[in-house]
Amino acid sequence: MATRRIPALLLPSSPRNAFITPSRFPRRLAPLARQFTTTELRKEQQKANTSAKRDPAPKIVRGQSKLYKDADAAVADLKSGSTILSAGFGLCGTAARGGGLSPLVDSGQISRLTLSFLGNNKSVEKKYLSGDIAVELCPQGTIAERIRAAGAGIPAFFTPTGINTFVQTGEIPVRFGPSAKGEPLKVLEAGKARETREFNGKTYSMEHALPGDVAILRAWKVDEEGNCQFRYTTKAFGPIMAKAAKVTIVEAENIVPVGEIPVDQVHLQGIYVDRIVPATVEPVIEIRKVRESESGSGGSGNGEKKSDALVRRERIAKRTSKELKHGYYVNLGVGIPTLAPSFLDPETKVWIQSENGLLGMGAYPTEDEIDGDLVNAGKETVTVIPGGSTFDSAESFAMIRGGHVDVSVLGALQVSAAGDLANYMIPGKVMKGMGGAMDLVGNPDQTKIVVSTDHVAKDGSPKIVQVCDLPLTGARVVSTIITDLCVFEVDRKKGALTLTELADGVTVEDVRSKTAAEFEVADNVKNME
């Protein structure tokens, strides 16, 4: 009962349930997809209303033992139509058995899912496009805050995340209907446009709390009253989901007597836990990553000739490292950004924040250091440096959304002259979800957003454009663009680019020929180092 990347909110409205978002969308999403008729939509709404009148949550009897002999006994009274909060980050911290939630997808028990990132499950994509699964795609930090709000009794809140994107406008389809072969996909349920409001001159959108009937999570140590301890990044979603559900079931790796967990070391209080079952399956390491050398560098050693692609990546990463100043708190996206720390001066110390709940992320572990309970946002095994800490996802995204991170480095599919960023979707081709990217760019006045990317895509098309034609991750958010050819500084207010640095052997004309945006050239263009 685990998600592929971030925890899943299952919203079944029938004996079936739901799971993952697709990687393919029609070329123009909802605007060009044929809509269902009013009659068809009314029938679906009537079914949803009928389902909503039931209370599918199991009943709680206070005072009885919270210990159950096994998982079967703990879930025996779960009903179809339940909203299930499934905790974990990938397979880290999940009540794992088999391939996460995949078995439920394959058996047709999942009807609806809310998540931020799609894994590589092709059966989910197929079911989504055929209308068998509904998917609400939502930024990762927003999911965390919606769940946290539900547990705190807050019905809704305003957030800067997703402003000027398809999330705000509701243009990502939630459910498709059946279509004949060769016909355009029909949108049975479109996304919901968010209400917006202005505070202190800035636009925010309203998000609703995300409560559950049942939460299912895994903890390292649980006493007989339900007090829980979590190890490292296994606490990403477990504590907040437990608080947001009517009934919480905890799979415990170790069940201990009351009093064995020190009172000041309880991560989740027993008031939020209703059922405890013993874990019977060892945790699974999803992506086992180890250091290739003592330095942990991503470079190629032993005198081996580097590929052209690696040379480009290292050139970008080396220049990116100069954006990471001593003492900075930084967040690094997957891919090229993660290589930047290996080029830092030994005297420069930065604190790397990973959105799944880790501050002070270190290098990949050696074989002897591997711990499946300690992973990064890419679900890879990592280490933590002295002085580091772990926390849940609500805390993590409070750091991010609140502007406490100094620099965030991301990859890109496109960046516009105004600093608009598109990096999560190519309609009709690529659709993995935005993960935490929309949250990371949600406060660009406090957190500097740096894009580190190849100058052109694999097909040779420019990534730096006058106006993005791909769905946006954020509007006017990028301050610096670093590519294998040059560095651009972005004036987000004026919507203008200035070329400030050139790589060795690259001319201004080379850059112009591979850039689809207008730009100025600085009076003193520096060498990109």
Pairing of strands 430-431, 425-426: antiparallel
Which of these, 453, 448, 459, lies nearest to 415 by C-alpha position?
A: 453
Compute the distance between CA of residue 335 and CA of residue 437 in angstroms, rounded to an integer: 14
Contact between 486 and 455 under an 8 Å Cβ cutoff? The reply is yes
* Of 125, 189, 323, 355, catalytic: 355
Contact between 27 and 428 under an 8 Å Cβ cutoff? The reply is yes
Q: Is the dihedral of CA 400, 192, 122, 310 positive or negative?
A: negative
Contact between 384 and 374 under an 8 Å Cβ cutoff? The reply is yes
Taking the mean position of all CA atoms in its chain, how far away is CA 182?
33
End-to-end CA distance of the chain: 47
Contact between 170 and 193 under an 8 Å Cβ cutoff? The reply is yes
Which structure tokens are listed for 290? 């180890």
Is 355 one of the catalytic residues?
Answer: yes
Residue appearing with tokens 């995949």: 102
Which structure tokens are listed for 83? 């909203």
Strand order in the sheet with 196-199: 156-159, 202-208, 196-199
Neighbours of 462 (CB within 10 A): 16
Compute the distance between CA of residue 92 and CA of residue 42 in angstroms, rounded to an integer: 40
Compute the distance between CA of residue 426 and CA of residue 413 in angstroms, rounded to an integer: 8
Contact between 225 and 270 under an 8 Å Cβ cutoff? The reply is yes
- The CA–CA distances, whole Å, from 453 to 378, 430, 457 equal 18, 17, 9
- Spell out the residues 6+ positions from residue 34 whose beta carbon is closer than 8 angstroms to its own: 179, 183, 184, 185, 186, 187
Compute the distance between CA of residue 77 and CA of residue 57 in angstroms, rounded to an integer: 9
The CA-CA-CA angle for residues 328, 334, 340, to 5°, reads: 45
Residues in the chain: 529
Phi, psi of 265 (to 5 degrees): -125, 20
Tell me the β-bridge partners of 299.
none
Residues recognised as catalytic: 355
